[in-house]
């Protein structure tokens, strides 16, 4: 899924065919990144298709089998204190957590791209003001900022997604600003300007397509961060509220049963770690593939 | 150097001003605004709410309200806690030390381990160790701190019983060793993320240095390899780490909040969460602004230290 998106974006970037293939080659040689993509595809399939294949609903309460340990009964990953199937809940939680991760990333990338592009293209006072705003936002430790806002509002999937996006667009803005600033001095940008292209045309049609590589890398790392942030605030009780499961709030409930049912804490955390690690690996691979200057 | 100092300080004052505006915006522009905590009181009528709004000056223009809030902030009057009426700054101050102790200890561990892993990874580039360290750092950056904390408690407190599951002291025991015993687990958990960052930055910084001409010169002169690596390479590779230390502060503070919650460590992060659950906004806002100010000061200090250590920086 992520892979085809990357390829598409690379093609629209309009770079010479030879170089495009080289980027894909370089990416495919990054074994961990390829493994990351496989892992994400697997997780998405399991979470979005899996629940239809299970004999249990995630809300079905099997009170006689509460606290069933994993790998011994029909409840493959055991059950929780109410006797709900842990695997079914894990899948439904994955839907929420992954969706929030992707949705928050898209919002953050749009916001960061617009602010970064405006700051980089116009520069001067506008650019300085916008970039100081970015700097100031980066001074706030993200969890403090998210929690302070989340406490004010009614927590739901959409509001949590928006809050995460509003506190994680700054890296993208920095990346885009730096790119646009250097690209707009290049000959092709000057030519487009002399030909009478509007600012919007130059930014979106000439400059941004050439900055797509770093944006894609930042976007991938942003998904990892968004999934992590959602799990933090849900774990702390200010994110997704039960009975809607998310990987984070499943761990919130698990803490008090640590002694009696450690598997309740084991699997959701493992799922978060696998998802976040995969996105980080993909981001790393993309960086190596899209930026040939960085040779490490 | 003086010019550099003045320039950086002015930049940071400007940034501080923007930070204060964001803090103000979070409090006043969020749904419900500063009245939110009163609206929840049972039996509160609309008229009473309006009266409170007038008393708090909420019907005045927004820039006047901001200016009043800012001048009070600047003069050290950060308001009083709704919970126990204590001055906000005093409450935060009484919790800040515990946080700094936790962050300090974990940073010391992270720097020692991270620098060592990073340097070794750079020297033995593409070796099995380097490969495992890179993957390990990636995973460490991806593990949710609170989950790692839960596992640590499960393994070392529940199963093995060798480390306390939380708090700063055992009740009735205030000795230094008891304190250290309680500090081990939270500082290791908090150190996990930063150790990964340190090792990665140190590795790439070391790789930058190791290919420089003066390293080749040192080798050509016949300086023993060990000395080349420690005296010539490592000393210079460590310089950019000053900036890294500054940049890590927000991550470290966020991590401290989570770690303190898991291990019931009586620091600023736990105070923040406690205050949130009591809807004690003056304390919440105080910690929010203070944490940003701490990051700002940390970055300024890192900038200045770097300029002192490396004259090339002052030139541009």
From A132's Cα to the closest Cα of chain B, the distance in A is 7
Other beta carbons less than 10 A from residue B57's beta carbon: 13
Contact list, B287 vs chain A (CB under 8 Å): 144
Count CB neighbours of A73 within 10 A.
13
| Domain that includes residue A259, residue range | 93-291
Within 8 A of B295 by CB-CB distance, chain A residues are 139-141
Name the CATH topology of B98-309.
Answer: MetI-like fold (1.10.3720)
- Residue A296's pLDDT band (cuts 50, 70, 90): very low
Interface test with A, best of B23, B152, B254, B300 (most A CBs within 10 A): B254
B18:A133 CB<8 A: yes
Tell whether B13 lies on the interface with A, counting CB pairs under 8 A: no
Q: Is the CB of B174 inside 8 Å of chain A's CB atoms?
A: no
- Would you say residue A4 lies in a domain? no
Cβ–Cβ below 8 Å for B257 and A276: no
CA gap B153, B259 in Å, rounded: 11
Question: Quick check: is A42 in a domain?
Answer: no
Closest CA to A281 of A3, A70, A55, A67: A3
A105 occurs within a structural domain: yes
Contacts with B77 (C-beta within 8 Å, 6 or more apart), sequence order? B87
Q: Structure tokens of B239? A: 């310089």
pLDDT value at position A19? Answer: 58
Interface test with B, best of A43, A136, A280 (most B CBs within 10 A): A136
Q: Which residues contact A83 (CB under 8 A, 6 or more apart)?
A: A61, A62, A63, A64, A65, A66, A67, A68
pLDDT tier for residue B32 given thresholds of 50, 70 and 90? low
**Best CA proximity match to B89, nearest among B296, B293, B287:** B287
Burial category of A141 from C-beta neighbours within 10 Å (exposed 0-12, middle 13-18, buried 19 and up): buried
- Contact B204/A at CB under 8 A: yes
Count of domains for chain A: 1
Beta-carbon separation of A143 and B207 below 8 A: no
Q: Is A159 on the interface with B (CB under 8 A)?
A: no
Residue A26 domain flag: no
Give yes or no for residue A56 having a pLDDT over 50.
yes
pTM of the predicted protein model: 0.86
Do the chains contact at A132 and B18, CB–CB below 8 Å? Answer: yes
Q: Which of A141, A281, A284 is the closest to B295 by Cβ?
A: A141
- For A91-133, write each residue's pLDDT tens digit: 889 999 999 999 999 999 999 999 999 998 888 889 889 999 9
Per-residue pLDDT tens over the stretch A155-210: 889 999 999 999 999 999 999 998 888 888 888 888 888 888 888 888 888 888 88
- Residues 6 or more apart in contact with residue A247 via CB below 8 angstroms: A90, A93, A94, A97, A227, A230, A231, A234, A268, A269, A271, A272
Asked if A139 and B144 come within 8 Å (Cβ–Cβ), the reply is no
Within-domain flag for A268: yes
Domain assignment present for A86: no
Domain at A244, CATH number:
1.10.3720.10
Per residue in B204-250, pLDDT (tens digit) is 888 888 888 888 888 888 888 888 888 888 888 888 888 888 888 88
Going from N- to C-terminal start, the domains of chain B cover 2-74, 98-309
Q: What is the distance between the alpha carbons of residues B6 and B250, in angstroms, rounded to a whole number?
A: 24
Q: Mean pLDDT throughout B64-69? A: 82
pLDDT in tens, B97-137: 989 999 999 999 999 999 999 999 888 888 898 889 989 99
Among the listed residues A30, A16, A19, A18, the one whose alpha carbon sits nearest the alpha carbon of residue A217: A30
Q: Report if residue A85 sits inside a domain.
A: no
Contact A265, A254 (CB under 8 A): yes
Report yes or no: B18 and A132 within 8 Å, Cβ to Cβ: yes
Confirm whether A46 is domain-assigned. no
């Amino acid at each position: 899924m992520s892979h085809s998106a990357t390829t598409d974006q690379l093609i629209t970037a309009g770079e010479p065919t030879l170089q495009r293939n080289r980027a894909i080659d370089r990416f495919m040689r990054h074994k961990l990144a390829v493994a990351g993509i496989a892992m994400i595809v697997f997780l998405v399939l399991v979470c979005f298709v899996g629940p239809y294949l299970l004999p249990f609903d995630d809300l079905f309460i099997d009170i006689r089998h509460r606290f069933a340990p994993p790998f011994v009964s029909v409840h493959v990953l055991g059950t929780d204190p109410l006797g709900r199937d842990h695997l079914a809940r894990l899948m439904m939680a994955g839907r929420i957590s992954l969706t929030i991760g992707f949705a928050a990333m898209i919002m953050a990338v749009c916001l960061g791209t617009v602010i970064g592009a405006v700051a980089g293209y116009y520069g001067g006072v506008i650019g300085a003001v916008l970039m100081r705003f970015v700097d100031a936002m980066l001074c706030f430790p993200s969890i403090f900022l998210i929690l302070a806002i989340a406490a004010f509002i009614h927590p739901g999937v959409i509001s949590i997604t928006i809050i995460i996006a509003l506190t994680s667009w700054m890296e993208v803005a920095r990346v885009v600003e730096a790119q646009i600033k250097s690209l707009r001095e290049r000959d092709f940008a000057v030519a487009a300007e002399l030909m009478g292209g509007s600012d919007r045309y130059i930014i979106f049609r000439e400059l941004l397509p050439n900055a797509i590589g770093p944006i894609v890398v930042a976007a991938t790392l942003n998904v990892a961060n968004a999934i992590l942030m959602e799990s933090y605030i849900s774990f702390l009780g200010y994110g997704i509220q039960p009975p809607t499961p998310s990987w984070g709030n499943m761990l919130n409930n698990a803490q008090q049963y640590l002694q009696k049912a450690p598997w309740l804490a084991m699997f959701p955390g493992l799922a978060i770690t696998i998802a976040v690690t995969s996105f980080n690996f993909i981001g790393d691979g993309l960086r190596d593939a899209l930026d040939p200057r960085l040779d490490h | 150097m003086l010019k550099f100092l003045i320039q950086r300080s002015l930049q940071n004052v400007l940034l501080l001003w923007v930070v204060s505006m964001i803090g103000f915006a979070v409090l006043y522009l969020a749904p419900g605004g500063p009245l939110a905590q009163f609206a929840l009181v049972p039996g509160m009528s609309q008229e009473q709410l309006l009266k409170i709004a007038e008393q708090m000056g909420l019907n005045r223009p927004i820039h006047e309200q901001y200016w009043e809030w800012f001048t009070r902030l600047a003069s050290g009057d950060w308001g009083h806690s709704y919970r126990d009426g204590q001055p906000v700054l005093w409450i935060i101050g009484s919790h800040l030390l515990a946080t700094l102790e936790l962050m300090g200890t974990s940073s010391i561990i992270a720097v020692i381990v991270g620098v060592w892993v990073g340097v070794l990874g750079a020297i033995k580039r593409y070796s099995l160790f380097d490969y495992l360290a890179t993957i390990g750092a990636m995973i460490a950056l991806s593990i949710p701190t609170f989950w790692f904390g839960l596992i640590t408690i499960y393994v070392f407190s529940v199963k093995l019983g060798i480390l306390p599951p939380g708090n700063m002291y055992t009740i009735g025991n205030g000795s230094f060793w008891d304190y250290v015993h309680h500090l081990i687990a939270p500082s290791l958990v908090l150190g996990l993320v930063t150790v990964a960052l340190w090792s990665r930055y140190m590795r790439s910084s070391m790789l930058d240095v190791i290919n420089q001409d003066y390293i080749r010169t040192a080798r050509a002169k016949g300086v023993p390899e060990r000395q080349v690596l420690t005296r010539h390479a490592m000393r210079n590779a460590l310089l950019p780490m000053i900036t890294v230390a500054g940049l890590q502060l927000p991550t470290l503070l966020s991590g401290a909040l989570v770690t303190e919650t898991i291990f019931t460590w009586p620091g600023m992060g736990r105070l923040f969460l406690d205050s949130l659950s009591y809807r004690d906004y003056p304390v919440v806002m105080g910690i929010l602004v203070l944490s940003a100010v701490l990051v700002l000061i940390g970055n300024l200090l890192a900038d200045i230290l770097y300029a002192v250590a490396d004259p090339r920086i002052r030139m541009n």
